[in-house]
Amino acid sequence: MTLDAPPTAASPLAIICGGGSLPRAVAEAVDRTGRRCVLFAIRGWAEPAAVAAFPHHWIDLGRYGRFRRLMQAEGCRDVVFIGSVLRPSVSHIRLDWETIRVLPDVWRAFHGGDNHLLSGVGRVLGGHGYRLIGAHEVAPDILVPEGPLGRLAPSPRDMADITLALELLRATSPYDVGQGTVVADRHVLALEAAEGTDRMLDRVADLRQQGRIRTKPGVGVLVKAAKVGQDHRFDLPTIGPKTVEGVARAELAGLAVVAGATIMAEPQEIVRKANAAGVFAVGVRSPQP
Amino acid sequence: MTLDAPPTAASPLAIICGGGSLPRAVAEAVDRTGRRCVLFAIRGWAEPAAVAAFPHHWIDLGRYGRFRRLMQAEGCRDVVFIGSVLRPSVSHIRLDWETIRVLPDVWRAFHGGDNHLLSGVGRVLGGHGYRLIGAHEVAPDILVPEGPLGRLAPSPRDMADITLALELLRATSPYDVGQGTVVADRHVLALEAAEGTDRMLDRVADLRQQGRIRTKPGVGVLVKAAKVGQDHRFDLPTIGPKTVEGVARAELAGLAVVAGATIMAEPQEIVRKANAAGVFAVGVRSPQP
């Protein structure tokens, strides 16, 4: 924690933490703006190391009453939800009374994809006077800017692959599929669904090793884009150093994401790894009208 | 070979054989109609066991002149192209003169996806007086009929998943992506691209084992459909006993394909395995207008 930044008048920010390193990155970025954070680490999802450096509470899914009391005690009004989530196994959740009261709303949210699930959580929080805001609103420097992040930039062929990939992701968007694809010389090599980006990249690396990909190493792009109409408050695509490693292992030219609508974890590490591996990482404009 | 069927007046049918068991299934089905077949097994792709029971020649990619001379010697006019193809590694192909003459056409076909590649081959053959026809035209009983193949039929929930999957495949169709998807309770679990159907099903089985799929075992459908506007002469989706095994391993309810536009290898085995595993295999009407 930096102690030299002046505290703002605002109430402390509640950060509900899912898995991965993003909660910590967001907390650090908010901390740099001088605002106090309180982390609510979801048991089973959040990583102890990601929350240890900040004031934090461990919370359980299904214990909404306890969460509300902690929020009150901490004086929090604004809530950010960040980190990876897994669809919970319903049989492992023990419910408290307040949760049972809000359950019908949450239950409706369970049907449909991730987007709907989190929208439901947002509705419940909003109905109780909390303001669910996006991580990018409190820590704008975690968003990928436009242009290359590292030393390398995409070639015209890469740009053609990126354009095709963004069109494809737009076409699959209404079906709540994943947010990533790999396109090489205008061939779609992989489309992401439940497996996630890292496994999709592993698959491309495997296919390449097995000689099932005929485009040369160094050709092809990973492209990630938010779903059309996606609520930016809790479900932006994310890249991190691991993404760059996956791109390098799959022997692609680089990765492209939508500038201003993608979160980056550990930007310095992204740049360092991209430069070391000879791949580009670029923020591009959204093709949306 | 059955010898009791009367030979037709038609010229012998040339079957150019790619990989897998389909070439044999087609040759047997054609043989049952009484027409003589000559198999042209593509070295590196065709399996010796799949062509051994019929008169056959081994041919090489890039040796079009030799292929033409063999076609003439056998008196073949009609050509069927069947079996799996891999995008060839250009550096391994040795060319003869006739191939070099037709190369500009083939070269154009190399750019773009499978569909274009095979369309180019069709153009070249057609230009030389051969008639490229679909396997389903000479062996209609290899196509999946409408309705359940085995004992089980899809439930209303399965039908909802099938409808969603067909819509999704229609949306990805212009991008020359794979022809398969797995949808469970309206969630898209996997989309097929370069990896093929079997590996996609393996992935779903893995995700399930790792607890990353929350829909219950026994829920979810594999759906395959031809791309919109796809040339049925050489690129129909295919199912076989292995597909059923994959569906069972992924703990899905069953598989659905478009009736009349999907080839089945070893239909009796498909039915036997589906019944034994308690999964359905159904031919549905195409949602196309």
- Kindly identify which residue of chain B lies nearest to residue A189, measuring between CA atoms: B194
CA-derived radius of gyration, chain B: 20
Domain boundary among B138, B155, B183: B138
Residue range B57-61: average pLDDT?
89
Integer angstrom CA distances of residue A233 from A79, A86, A133, A134: 10, 18, 5, 4
Q: What was the pLDDT predicted at A109?
A: 58
Burial degree of B155 (CB within 10 A; 0-12, 13-18, 19+): middle
**A134 domain residue, yes or no:** yes
Q: What was the pLDDT predicted at B135?
A: 84
pLDDT digits (tens, 9 = 90+) for A171-230: 998 887 878 999 999 999 999 998 999 999 999 999 999 888 888 999 999 999 987 766
Q: State the smallest CA–CA distance between residue B185 and chain A in angstroms.
A: 9
**A289 domain residue, yes or no:** no
The Cβ of residue A46 has, within 10 Å, a number of other Cβ atoms equal to: 26
Q: For residues B114 and B147, state if they share a domain.
A: no
Q: How is chain A classified by DSSP, letter by letter?
A: --SSSPPPSSPPEEEEE-BSSHHHHHHHHHHHTT--EEEEEETTTS-HHHHTTS-EEEE-TT-HHHHHHHHHHHT--EEEEESB-----GGGPPP-HHHHHHHHHHHHHHSS-HHHHHHHHHHHHHHTT-EEE-HHHH-GGGBPPSEESSS----HHHHHHHHHHHHHHHHHGGGT--SEEEEETTEEEEE-STT-HHHHHHHHHHHHHTT---SPTT--EEEE-PPTT--TTT---EE-HHHHHHHHHTT-SEEEEETTS-EESSHHHHHHHHHHHT-EEEEE-----
Q: For residues B250 and B195, state if they share a domain.
A: yes
Q: What was the pLDDT predicted at A20?
A: 81
Q: How far apart are CA B84 and CA B273, in angstroms?
A: 22
Q: State the smallest CA–CA distance between residue A265 and chain B in angstroms.
A: 23
Does B211 sit within 8 Å of A89, measured CB to CB? yes
A265 pLDDT higher than 80: yes
CATH of the domain at B247: 3.40.140.80
Domain of residue A164: give its range.
143-284
Domain boundary among A138, A164, A189: A138
CA-derived radius of gyration, chain A: 20
Q: Find chain A residues with C-beta within 8 A of B212's C-beta.
A: 86, 194-195
**B46 domain residue, yes or no:** yes
Does B213 sit within 8 Å of A207, measured CB to CB? no
Contact indicator for B27, B2 with CB cutoff of 8 Å: no
**Which among B176, B177, B189 has the least Cβ separation from residue A194?**
B189
Task: Evaluate the CA torsion angle A127, A128, A130, A135 in order and state its sign.
Answer: negative
Q: For residues A149 and A131, state if they share a domain.
A: no
Report the predicted TM-score, pTM, of the whole model to 2 decimal places. 0.78
Q: Which residue has the tokens 């195409």?
A: B286
Q: A211 — contact with chain B (CB < 8 Å)?
A: yes
Q: For residues A125 and A148, state if they share a domain.
A: no
Percent of chain A exceeding pLDDT 90 equals 49
A151 pLDDT higher than 70: yes
Q: Find chain A residues with C-beta within 8 A of B116's C-beta.
A: none
Number of domains making up chain A: 2
Q: A168 — contact with chain B (CB < 8 Å)?
A: yes
A residues 57-96 lying closer than 8 A (beta carbon) to B = 86-89
pLDDT digits (tens, 9 = 90+) for A226-260: 877 666 666 678 899 999 999 999 999 999 999 98
pLDDT digits (tens, 9 = 90+) for B144-165: 999 999 999 999 999 999 999 9
Take residue B21 and report the two structure tokens written for it. Answer: 């068991």
The Cβ of residue A134 has, within 10 Å, a number of other Cβ atoms equal to: 19
Q: For residues B110 and B132, state if they share a domain.
A: yes
Q: State the smallest CA–CA distance between residue B76 and chain A in angstroms.
A: 33
Take residue B19 and report the two structure tokens written for it. Answer: 């990989």
Q: What was the pLDDT predicted at A107?
A: 61
pLDDT digits (tens, 9 = 90+) for A86-123: 655 556 667 777 777 776 666 665 555 545 556 677 77
Q: A189 — contact with chain B (CB < 8 Å)?
A: yes
Does B194 sit within 8 Å of A189, measured CB to CB? yes
Instruction: Say what the ipTM of the complex is.
Output: 0.75
Q: Find chain B residues with C-beta within 8 A of A207's C-beta.
A: 194-195
**B277 domain residue, yes or no:** yes
| Cα end-to-end distance, chain A, whole Å | 41
The Cβ of residue A5 has, within 10 Å, a number of other Cβ atoms equal to: 12
Q: For residues A148 and A279, state if they share a domain.
A: yes
**A236 domain residue, yes or no:** yes
Q: Find chain A residues with C-beta within 8 A of B199's C-beta.
A: 203
Q: How far apart are CA B213 and CA B6, in angstroms?
A: 54
Lowest model confidence (mean pLDDT) among A2-11, A184-193, A266-275, B102-111: A2-11
Q: Which residues of B198-235 are buried (b: 16+ CB within 10 A; e: fewer)?
A: bbbbbbbbebbeeebbbbeeebbbbbbbbbeebbbbbb
Does residue B19 sit in helix, strand or coil?
A: strand
Q: A263-264 and A238-239 as β-strands: parallel, antiparallel, unpaired? A: parallel
Does residue B268 sit in helix, strand or coil?
A: helix
Q: For residues B93 and B177, state if they share a domain.
A: no
Cα A148–Cα A149–Cα A152 angle in degrees, nearest 5: 55
**B119 domain residue, yes or no:** yes
Residue range B85-114: average pLDDT?
64
Q: How far apart are CA A15 and CA A51, in angstroms?
A: 10
Q: B217 — contact with chain A (CB < 8 Å)?
A: no
Domain boundary among A116, A138, A160: A138
| Contact residues for B74 (Cβ-Cβ < 8 A; gap 6+) | B12, B14, B38
Q: State the smallest CA–CA distance between residue B78 and chain A in angstroms.
A: 31
Kindly state the DSSP code that residue B167 receives in the 8-state scheme: H
**Which among A88, A111, A212 has the least Cβ separation from residue B86?**
A212
Does B193 sit within 8 Å of A188, measured CB to CB? yes
Q: For residues B98 and B156, state if they share a domain.
A: no
CATH of the domain at B29: 3.40.50.20
Q: Find chain A residues with C-beta within 8 A of B189's C-beta.
A: 193-194
Does A195 sit within 8 Å of B190, measured CB to CB? yes
Measured in whole angstroms, how far is the alpha carbon of residue A167 from the centre of its chain? 21
Task: Evaluate the CA torsion angle B154, B235, B140, B59 in order and state its sign.
Answer: negative
pLDDT digits (tens, 9 = 90+) for B130-143: 988 888 888 888 88
Cα within 13 Å of Cα(A98), Cβ side:
11
Q: For residues B189 and B103, state if they share a domain.
A: no
Q: State the smallest CA–CA distance between residue B109 and chain A in angstroms.
A: 13
Q: For residues A173 and A76, state if they share a domain.
A: no
Does B174 sit within 8 Å of A175, measured CB to CB? no
**Which among B176, B181, B204 has the least Cβ separation from residue A188?**
B176
Q: How far apart are CA B244 and CA B235, in angstroms?
A: 20
Hey, of B61, B91, B167, B177, which one would you mutate to test binding to chain A, going by the most A CBs within 10 A of its CB?
B177
- Kindly identify which residue of chain A lies nearest to residue B115, measuring between CA atoms: A187
Length of chain B: 289
The Cβ of residue B72 has, within 10 Å, a number of other Cβ atoms equal to: 9
Q: What was the pLDDT predicted at A4?
A: 39
Does A187 sit within 8 Å of B113, measured CB to CB? yes
pLDDT digits (tens, 9 = 90+) for B193-243: 989 999 999 999 999 998 888 889 999 999 999 877 666 666 678 899 999
**Which among A89, A168, A195 has the least Cβ separation from residue B214?**
A89
Q: Find chain A residues with C-beta within 8 A of B192's C-beta.
A: 191
Q: How far apart are CA A196 and CA B275, in angstroms?
A: 33
Q: How far apart are CA B86 and CA A211, in angstroms?
A: 9
Q: For residues B244 and B175, state if they share a domain.
A: yes
Q: Quick one: which of B95, B15, B88 has its CA closest to B63?
A: B95
Q: How far apart are CA A96 and CA A93, in angstroms?
A: 10
Hey, of A86, A188, A198, A216, which one would you mutate to test binding to chain B, going by the most B CBs within 10 A of its CB?
A188
pLDDT digits (tens, 9 = 90+) for B250-270: 999 999 999 988 989 889 999
A residues 104-143 lying closer than 8 A (beta carbon) to B = 111-113
**A251 domain residue, yes or no:** yes
Q: For residues A203 and A279, state if they share a domain.
A: yes
| Contact residues for B19 (Cβ-Cβ < 8 A; gap 6+) | B45, B46, B47, B83, B84, B85, B86
- Kindly identify which residue of chain B lies nearest to residue A90, measuring between CA atoms: B214
Contact indicator for B30, B93 with CB cutoff of 8 Å: no
**B3 domain residue, yes or no:** no
Q: How far apart are CA A31 and CA A36, in angstroms?
A: 6
Kindly state the DSSP code that residue B92 receives in the 8-state scheme: G
Q: How far apart are CA A149 and CA B189, in angstroms?
A: 32
Q: How is A193-213 classified by DSSP, letter by letter?
A: STT-HHHHHHHHHHHHHTT--
Q: How far apart are CA B212 and CA B204, in angstroms?
A: 9
Does A193 sit within 8 Å of B191, measured CB to CB? yes
Q: A193 — contact with chain B (CB < 8 Å)?
A: yes
Does A186 sit within 8 Å of B211, measured CB to CB? no
Kindly state the DSSP code that residue B283 receives in the 8-state scheme: E
Q: State the smallest CA–CA distance between residue B88 and chain A in angstroms.
A: 7
Q: How far apart are CA B192 and CA A188, in angstroms?
A: 10
Q: What was the pLDDT predicted at B191?
A: 96
